[in-house]
Amino acid sequence: MKTYLILAIIALSGICFVSCDVAYLSPDPSVSLTIDQAFGDPEIFQTYINGIYDEHGDSAYLTRLLPSQDVRGGDVVLIPTNNFSRYIIEYQFIESPVNSYVSGNLWFQAYDVIGLVNPALAALPEADFEADLKAGIEGELLTFRANALHDLVRNFAQPYSAGRDNLGIVLNTAVLTADDDPLGRSTVGEVYDQIVADLTRAVAVMPAGYNDASKITLRAAHGVLARVYLDMGEYALAAQNAELAHAGMTLMGTEDYQAGFAAPTSEWIWYNGKTADDSNGFLSTHSFWDTRRLGYSSLRMDMTFMDNNFTSTDIRGYSLLRAAASGDPLVSTAYVSNKLAHNAGFVQDELIMRASEMYLISAESNARLGNNTAAQTALFAIQSRADVNAVMSTNTGQALIDEVILERRKELYAEGHRYYDLQRLQLPVVRTTEGGHWSSQAGTIPFNDFRRISPIPQFELDANPIIRPQQNPGYGS
């Protein structure tokens, strides 16, 4: 019996000795592949592209970027209660390297997207896609990178209009790893050159005819390029690309307009798609614009702006606002807007770009180029859709430009554009208590105030010695 027992024990020990090889100590993960498997198989490659769309639509990127722009633009008022202090920092222009959304999440998320794009772009030439599909993917990736760089450079650097030689942002187009040396800031000019190069290549290679606006299409690439050229003062190219972006599209009707921007319409060029099992819920932009206290319900329209700029027949004016019932605390401070009405469960697609913006880029660019008729026509397309009584503008020169800029405020409010316009046009932020702003925040913040540009976030400064001495002026460390 003892002999058998000894044998049994030795046998038991042997089980392990036999299996003690490298394979035994290298179990495979069950929900991950190794990264070198990502680009060999087209189907896996496609999931990787889908993952970039998801990252772009993250509640920390797109759907927080839009309100954080609007609360700084002057036309939007922030109600600070019951939203866990979101946007309070940006609204008050008290960002610091450690406390704000813009300097934190945007920096992180946009570079995350760029970090996803770069290895895919490098691997794409070898990938086993059909030529058409491959060209489309190249365009998507390039547009993602250009759009992320554009988001970054407009928040962390002086506008292009203030000079090409100002410090821009980190320009990263290579496949870098933790072992590579950190990069410092390029100039604004170098960053815009890269954005233009990416987008020019994108529109050159992308096939036409794809119209799924939940993806980056040729239209969307042209649209981003139009925005970029507008920043750069390249008005002919801006107008040309804006028109290519909306060519053949129908502006949404007034019924769609008044139903709220919760689902794609005929004029949506690019949006981030959401589904019931994959939405940003309470953190969606619409939750902050909610009028019924189902979401965070934190954003309101400046009352002076709404009172003074819309005719009574303008569908974007009072008819989009919730009627002011007496004693309702929600409307006592400023106006609630139904423009970003939400769906059940806050499951709604997040708008990134629509044709109306392209009409207005075209209008502004043509006005600046002196093409008055083209400008007036494009402007009228927007004005007449909003107001049945609208009359084609006869303004020219600066008056026409001013009219277009005002139309941008009216047409695009709550879509994250106004603050970028103030930067591009080097205008002050103006807020009044009459409009509903906090008394402490009433007043003017001139263009040259250091707070108009976000600080490079502390975590970047801490991890990157090259950028550490390159903080934007005015901020501590």
Partner 1 sequence: MTAKKLAILIFTLVSFAGTLQAQSIKGVISDAQTGELVPNANIFLIQLARGAAADLDGAYLIENVPSGEYTMRISYIGYETIEEKIIVRNGDLIKNFALSTDFQGLEEVVITAYGNQKKKAVTGAATSVGKQIIEARPITNVADALQGVAPGVSVSSASGQPGGGVNIQIRGAGSINASTQPLYVIDGLPVLNINGGNSGSSNTMSLIDPNDIEDITILKDASASALYGSRAANGVILITTKRGRKGSVKVDFRAASGFSDIAVEQHQTINASEYFGLYFQDVYNDQISGGASPADAATAANAGAITALQANPYNTAQPFGAGGVLNSGAALLYDTNWRDRVVSRGQTQDYGLSVSGGSERTTYYMAASIFDQEGILPGSSFQRGSTRMNVETRVTDFLTMAFSSNNVFSEQLSSPGGGGANNPLRFANLTSNVYPFFARNAAGEIVNDSRGNPLYNYNTPTVLDFHPVGLAEVDQFMQQQIRSINNMSTRFKATDDITLRSDVSFDVTNVQDRVYENRNHGNATPQGGRATRSYNRFTVFQVSNTANYNKAIGEHTIDLLAGQEYYSERRDFLEAQRTGFGNNILRELDAATVPTVASSSFSERRIISYLSRLNYGFRDKYFVTASVRRDGSSVFGAGNKWGTFGSVGASWSISDESFMDNVNFVDNLKLRASWGTTGNDNIGFYSSLGLLGFSSAFDYNGLGGSTYSQQANPDLKWEVNESIDIGIEFDMFKNKLSGEIVYYTRDTNDLLFDRPIPVSTAGFSEISSNLASIRNSGLELALNYTVASTKDLVWSVNMNVTTLDNEILSLPADDPIQSGTKRFEEGQDRYAWFIQEFAGIDAETGQATWFRDVLDAAGEPTGEREAVSNYAQADRYNLGSSLPDFFGGFGTNVNYKGFDLQALFSFTIGNTIYDNTYADITHMGAQPGQQLHRDVLANVWTPGSTTATLPAFGINENAQFTETSSRFLFDGDFLRLKNLTVGYTLPASVLKVIKAQRLRVYVSGENLLTFAAHEGLDPELPRSGISNNIFPAARTITAGINLSF
The residues in 317-376 that bind partner 1, with binding defined as CB under 8 A, are 329, 332-333, 342, 344-346
Identity at 146, one-letter amino acid code: A
Looking at the Cβ atoms of 106 and 237, the one nearer to partner 1 is 106
What 3-state class would DSSP assign to 209?
coil
Does position 123 bind partner 1 by CB under 8 A?
no
Q: Which of 163, 233, 293, 324 binds partner 1 (CB under 8 A)?
A: 293
Does position 133 bind partner 1 by CB under 8 A?
no
Looking at the Cβ atoms of 172 and 376, the one nearer to partner 1 is 172
| Span 44-83, contacts to partner 1 by CB under 8 A | 44, 46-48, 50-55, 57, 80-82
Q: Which of 116, 216, 245, 375 binds partner 1 (CB under 8 A)?
A: 116
Does position 129 bind partner 1 by CB under 8 A?
no
* CA dist list (Å): 452 to 61, 99, 114, 447, 472: 20, 16, 25, 7, 10
Q: Which of 26, 308, 312, 394 binds partner 1 (CB under 8 A)?
A: 26
Residue pair 429/73 in contact (Cβ under 8 Å)? The answer is yes
Q: Which of 61, 101, 107, 335 binds partner 1 (CB under 8 A)?
A: 107
Site string for partner 1, 444-463 (x = CB under 8 A): -------x---x--xxx-xx
Looking at the Cβ atoms of 17 and 130, the one nearer to partner 1 is 17
* CA dist list (Å): 448 to 417, 445, 451, 474: 19, 8, 8, 11
Strand partners, 123: none
Looking at the Cβ atoms of 44 and 323, the one nearer to partner 1 is 44
Site string for partner 1, 269-288 (x = CB under 8 A): ---xxxxxxx--xx----x-
Does position 474 bind partner 1 by CB under 8 A?
yes
In terms of C-beta density within 10 A (0-12 exposed, 13-18 middle, 19 or more buried), how is residue 14 classed?
exposed
Q: From the CB of 292, what's the least distance to partner 1, in Å? A: 10
Q: At what angle do helices 131-156 and 42-56 cross, to 10 degrees?
A: 20
Q: What is the 3-state secondary structure (H, E, C) of 63-101?
A: HHHHHHHHCCCCCEEECCCCCCCCCHHHHCCCCCCCCCH
Q: If binding means CB under 8 A, how many residues of this protein chain bind partner 1?
A: 109
Does position 439 bind partner 1 by CB under 8 A?
yes
Does position 176 bind partner 1 by CB under 8 A?
yes
Ramachandran quadrant class, 356 (left: phi over 0; alpha: psi -120 to 50; beta: rest):
alpha
Sequence-ordered alpha helix ranges (H) in 253-371: 254-259, 285-289, 303-309, 329-332, 355-369
Does position 18 bind partner 1 by CB under 8 A?
no
Residue pair 339/413 in contact (Cβ under 8 Å)? The answer is yes
Q: Which of 123, 135, 162, 183 binds partner 1 (CB under 8 A)?
A: 183
Looking at the Cβ atoms of 212 and 255, the one nearer to partner 1 is 212
Residue pair 29/35 in contact (Cβ under 8 Å)? The answer is no
Does position 438 bind partner 1 by CB under 8 A?
yes
